[in-house]
Each structure stands twice: as C-alpha cells, then as structure tokens.
Amino acid sequence: MERIETLRMEGVTRQYGNAAALSAFTLDIAGGTFTTLLGPSGCGKTTALNCLAGLLDLSSGQILLNGRPIHTTPAEKRGFGLVFQNYALFPHLNVERNVGYGLEIRRVPKAERQQRIREALSIVHLEDLGRRYPAQLSGGQQQRLAIARTIVLRPNLLLMDEPLSNLDANLREEMRSEIRRLHDAFRITTVYVTHDQAEAMVTSDRIVVMNHGRIEQVDDPVSLYNRPRTRFVAGFIGRTSFLDGTLDGATIGFPGFAVSADLLPDIGGAAKRVSFSVRPQNIVMHRTAPAPVNGAWLIQGSVAERAYLGECWEYVVRPSATDLRLRVSTAPQDVHETGDAVWLEIDPRRIARVPSEEG
C-alpha cells in the first residue's frame, strides 16, 4: 500500500444544489501527522472527510496523494480506513471476527490473519475479550474495537468521523487520550472530525478550524489558542472576551477607559479601530487598585456574574460606566461576591490582536 508523504485537497468545492458545503477548500496534510477538522455543525468538516474517503464526488478541484490525483479513484481502492460515528460493528460476530472480517475479505492467509488480529487487539487493550460480542462491551470498548478493525488492515490514511460523540463526558476524556496514544504507536496519517475543542486540542498535531465551508486557520493547538488570526477562531477555541477600541497615537481608547499601546510595538500608525482577544486566565483580578507594573493595563469595574466550576471560579466583570463584560478565571479560593468592586490587570503581551468587527 502506498505510503503517504503528502496529501493535498486543492480547490475542492462540493455543491448541494446552489449551496456549497465546501468552497475552494485547499489543505495540505503531511504523512504521519494527526490533523483535526474542527468547527460548528454545518461547517463542512464531514463533507471534507467524505470527499477524502471517496464517498462523495467533487464538484470541482482535486485530491492529490504524493502528487498523484486520486479524486476519481473509487473509495475501495484508495487504501484508506474509516471509523464511523456509530462504529458499524457486526453484532453477530465476536470481537476477533469483527477485527478479522476485512482480512478475510482480502483473503489474507489464516496464520497471518490470526497474528494481525492478536496484535491489533493487544494495542487497543482488548486481547482478553476476543470471544465477546459487541453487545457485551462497554461504549469505550466498542470504540476501541472499531479502531482495531480499521488499523488491522494497515491503511495508509485513517479517517475518523466524530468517533466519541456517543460516549459520556468522562469516557470521552479517557478515549481522546487513548486515540492519541494509538496514533503515536502506529504513526498512521490521521484526519479526525470533531466539534469538540478540547478533543481537538488533546489529540492533534494540527487543527483546521472551519466555518461555512472554508478554512479560518490551520495551526498547532498552542498557536491556535494563543494567536488566533480571526475573531471566529478566537471565539470558537476556548473562552474569550473581545476588547474593541480606537488607536490614537500611543493611546488606545476603549468604552469608559484608555490604556497605553507602548507594549504593542507592531500596532503603530494612524488612528484606527483595533480589537483584541483576552482569555479569562490572562486577566488578574484584585480587590484594591494594584501598583502599575511593566505597562499592565488597569481597569476598574464590578462583578456582574459568577459561576463556580470546581477547579476555578469564572466571573463576568463589567468595567465602570460601560456595557463591556469581561470573563475572568480565578483560583477556587479567590472568592468575590456579585456587586463587589474589583480591579482588573491585563498584560498586553498576553493578549491577541484580531481583526476588528468592521474588518
């Protein structure tokens, strides 16, 4: 089976009538990497996966495997493995026969087939459950069985369409780490679809954030979170607050207060609208006015809302005489009451500039 060095979707468009589920979609995937397509429902991520798999024809564009067009190659001849949302297990076959079914179809010799089944079950930690049937397995075990049934075929590309969506929250958290472990063990080039930001952050080498059939940003998880390039990405990945103001010389004016632009050397120029994404954990909350340190922005306000999340408090603070609402996270022991007067401290070096609403 051909090893993947590069996989490219180039200018791919998929139309449904007059609506485009994908529009001029171009994405490069390096061999051996774990790439996640992330976005809200209806953004086109499953359509992109199905185009890669060969389950959907392209309206235009092409798919290149190591530089060779494959978009007209039938799905069964691409050598790709697909893990479905509902696992699609055979209820009348036990675990071993579910895993070995594809090998039987390919007429793999019995001795080799049994060895590969044992290896696959061992990797997903199901080696002691080979005689059980799918109905006798937990949700997590069924999910691992679906993966084993795919990787036993040694595909050159593994495609996974929201495989954890049917699991409860605790099991999802356990299985997303398990999926990453399996990828590290096999190094199979993987394309994964999810709408769960945490799932994408844990599993991925690169995340492709999609919106309305187009790519908003492609980046590693850390860069995506800390340096979003669009307002959509900043708002979709994790929690954030937006500060929209006007730059005038060395001062940025926001509704109700103004701050220095000294620590933002790349922002200079004529007067203009500017916007920033501020993560809740990058705001420090004080009960009294702190001494200015290293050019930090100091904003006076009051607590408008609060929620206890166990590992932290999350507050909504309204700066004085404004309608702004800024999210702030604090340690569990840092307790403030609704209505309390507070001061916010923001290090401008820890925020991200994003396009303004007009932009």
How far is it, in rounded angstroms, from Cα 195 to Cα 41?
7
pLDDT of 28 = 97
pLDDT of 245 = 92
Specify which residues 253 forms β-bridges with: 246, 258
Report whether 183 contacts 34 (CB < 8 A). yes
Burial group, residue 183, by CB count within 10 angstroms (0-12, 13-18, 19+): buried
The residue with greater pLDDT, 294 or 16, is 16
pLDDT of 73 = 94
Whether 94 shows a pLDDT value over 80: the answer reads: yes
pLDDT of 333 = 95
Which of 306, 336, 302, 298 shows the shortest CA–CA distance to 319?
302
| Residue 264 placed within a domain | yes
Whether 34 shows a pLDDT value over 90: the answer reads: yes
Which range has the worst mean pLDDT, 78-82, 111-115, 343-347? 78-82
What does the pLDDT look like over 195-223, one tens digit per residue?
A: 999 999 999 999 999 999 999 999 999 99
Specify which residues 80 forms β-bridges with: 157
Whether 358 shows a pLDDT value over 60: the answer reads: no
Tokens coding 191: 């394309």
Residues 161 and 305 in one domain: no
CATH no. for residue 59? 3.40.50.300
Residues 82 and 191 in one domain: yes
Residues 118 and 232 in one domain: yes
CATH no. for residue 273? 2.40.50.140
Residues 54 and 80 in one domain: yes
Residues 196 and 268 in one domain: no
Q: Which of 180, 209, 236 is the last residue of a domain?
A: 236
How far is it, in rounded angstroms, from Cα 29 to Cα 345?
41
In total, the chain counts a number of residues equal to 359
In angstroms and rounded to an integer, the radius of gyration of the C-alpha atoms of the chain is 25
Residues 111 and 175 in one domain: yes
HEC-encoded secondary structure of 1-35? CCCCCEEEEEEEEEEECCEEEEEEEEEEEECCCEE
CA 43 to chain CA mean position, Å: 13
Residues 117 and 255 in one domain: no
pLDDT band at 254 (very low <50, low <70, confident <90, very high): very high
| Residue 347 placed within a domain | yes
Report whether 267 contacts 328 (CB < 8 A). no
Report whether 234 contacts 228 (CB < 8 A). yes
How far is it, in rounded angstroms, from Cα 191 to Cα 288?
49
| Residue 359 placed within a domain | no
Percent of the chain topping pLDDT 90: 70
| Residue 342 placed within a domain | yes
Residues 262 and 228 in one domain: no
Instruction: Find the helix or strand (DSSP H, E) in which 99 lies.
Output: helix 95-105
Q: Which of 236, 256, 271 is the last residue of a domain?
A: 236
pLDDT of 269 = 63
Report whether 95 contacts 41 (CB < 8 A). no
pLDDT of 88 = 84
**CB under 8 A, 24+ apart: contacts of 49-54:** 49/159, 49/161, 49/191, 49/193, 51/9, 51/12, 51/14, 51/22, 52/7, 52/9, 52/80, 52/157, 52/159, 52/191, 53/78, 53/80, 53/82, 53/159, 54/78, 54/80
Tokens coding 297: 């922005």
Which of 185, 320, 161 shows the shortest CA–CA distance to 255?
320
Q: Which of 209, 236, 263 is the last residue of a domain?
A: 236
Residues 132 and 258 in one domain: no
Give the pLDDT mean for 324-347: 96
| Residue 1 placed within a domain | no
Task: Give the E-state strand segments of the chain in sequence order.
Answer: 6-16, 19-30, 34-38, 60-65, 68-69, 80-83, 157-161, 189-194, 206-211, 214-219, 241-248, 251-254, 257-260, 272-278, 283-286, 297-308, 313-319, 326-330, 341-346, 352-354
Average pLDDT over all residues of the chain: 91
Based on the structure, what is the number of domains in the chain? 2
pLDDT of 265 = 67
What does the pLDDT look like over 138-193, one tens digit per residue?
A: 888 898 898 889 889 889 999 999 988 877 888 888 888 888 988 888 889 999 99
Residues 76 and 215 in one domain: yes
| Residue 159 placed within a domain | yes
How far is it, in rounded angstroms, from Cα 145 to Cα 143?
5
Using DSSP's 3-state secondary structure scheme, residue 85 falls into coil
| Residue 272 placed within a domain | yes
Give the domain extent around 137.
Answer: 6-236
Residues 279 and 154 in one domain: no
pTM, to two decimals: 0.89
Residues 278 and 318 in one domain: yes
